[in-house]
Chains A and B, each alone.
Chain A
Amino acid sequence: GAGVSQSPSNKVTEKGKDVELRCDPISGHTALYWYRQSLGQGLEFLIYFQGNSAPDKSGLPSDRFSAERTGGSVSTLTIQRTQQEDSAVYLCASSLGLAGGITDTQYFGPGTRLTVL
């Protein structure tokens, strides 16, 4: 079946502009995650959605970052007033979440490469 998809695959923007990144999770997956990976760095957790529960926003680096998940499916990560340090690959993952049983495997999308000039 179809995996996690993300769009756009690449985004170049100017400093100060807002950007929206989209994630389409695997159908039926109730949990959705956003991570980012800066050049030469490991993956950094940003936010986690589980069903209709309040999201875990503990990884968002500043209030310029926000995310929503509409209808329990598609998610959008928004970065306002982008800065050069926001340049990174933004990865989305989904999983069965609470329905995943004892353990819950996350499936990652290909990522969106964001470049802020």
Chain B
Amino acid sequence: DAKTTQPTSMDCAEGRAANLPCNHSTISGNEYVYWYRQIHSQGPQYIIHGLKNNETNEMASLIITEDRKSSTLILPHATLRDTAVYYCIVSPRNAGGTSYGKLTFGQGTILTVHP
């Protein structure tokens, strides 16, 4: 699986947008970009995923560069409850086109949202 690189930590003011970068320069054509987050003492929570187009859901937006070598997770209006470790994961699809199997978590980015 492709390796990802994320900043160790970031700060964001409450109500502002949080932009979390991820580098995945070795990503291959059959790999998706996933974002999960882990709030203290809880299990990881799925946020969003994408292949090459930008994606948006009720939680966040995912911007993937045209060359797919990096992406940015955007929390449009961060709240104190968004303080968590954010993981960017690259996960392959199998030959049948489905993506499943183990997730390889890195160290993630510790996002701290402050008042």
Residues of A within 8 A of B (CB): 4, 31, 33, 35, 42-45, 48, 50, 56, 58-59, 91, 93, 95, 97-98, 100-111
Contact = CB atoms under 8 A, between A and B. Distances in A.
Interface of B is mostly: loop
A31 B42 contact: no
A93 B99 contact: no
Contacts of A93: 43-44
Given A42-B107, A102-B93, A102-B97, A107 B102 contact: no
Range of interface residues on B (Cβ < 8 Å): 20 to 34
Interface string B33-67: 01000000011111001000000000000000000
A44 B97 CA distance: 25
Given A43-B44, A103-B32, A103-B49, A97 B100 contact: yes
A43 B102 CA distance: 11
A110 B102 contact: no
Given A50-B100, A91-B43, A95-B100, A42 B106 contact: yes
